[in-house]
Amino acid sequence: MSANGLTIAVPRGALFKQTLDLLDAIGVETGEVRANDRKLLFRDVGLVTMRPSDVPTYVEAGAADVGITGKDVLMEQSEREVYELLDLGYGTCTMVLASVAGDDPMEEARRRLGIMRIATKYPKIAARHFAATGRQAEMVEVKGSVELAPLTGLVDGIVDLTATGTTLRENGLVVREEIVTVTARLIANPVAHKLKAAAIDELLERVRAA
């Protein structure tokens, strides 16, 4: 079964399996998606798979009518013109401020220099958090393992997502502050939300029922 004429952007990665399970539960056939690790577009069932960070881009441009991505992505890309329709309640993670265990090097940097260096994949979220709490911080944007940055002395701390805290602990880091809890969200293209209102409303009802 297709997604009632809608094109849905599906996030690969941590949200992938639970998203496919949700689609199965509302009657969208995902067998072909599960069987193809490399194929990205599944026209017959109206699904297109991509990195979670790309979902708002495709939905905003109308290449997908609706999509699923993490609230962290939406917060970091707050300039995207998309409608957030529903908190899907899975993929729960916490955005945290962390540093190496022991005396907090971030506080030491504040005392000595008045500013901290923070590594993160989420510079906008991090900057807003520090601004809201009246602290100065220089953002160092990294793409790979954020945990490495404080261990090598590149930064004083990190802002990152964690589900269990295991990776932080294994690298000798501790959580100093919890910034926000994030979950998967259903978003829609504003034009599609008007022109395909009936189909999107039906999708919403099926998701809520599931």
List b or e across 121-157, with b for residues whose CB sees 16 or more CB atoms inside 10 angstroms.
Answer: bbbebbbebbeeeeeebebbebeeebbebbeeeebbb
pLDDT at 1: 46
pLDDT at 2: 58
Binned average pLDDT, 10 residues per bin, the chain of 210 residues: 82 96 95 92 93 98 97 97 98 97 95 96 97 96 94 97 94 97 98 96 95
pLDDT at 182: 97
pLDDT at 4: 75
All structural domains of the chain = 8-91+183-209 (3.40.190.10), 93-181 (3.40.190.10)
Q: Which helix (H) or strand (E) holds 85?
A: strand 83-87
Structure tokens at 52: 């979670």
Question: What pTM was computed for the model?
Answer: 0.92
3-state secondary structure of 127: helix
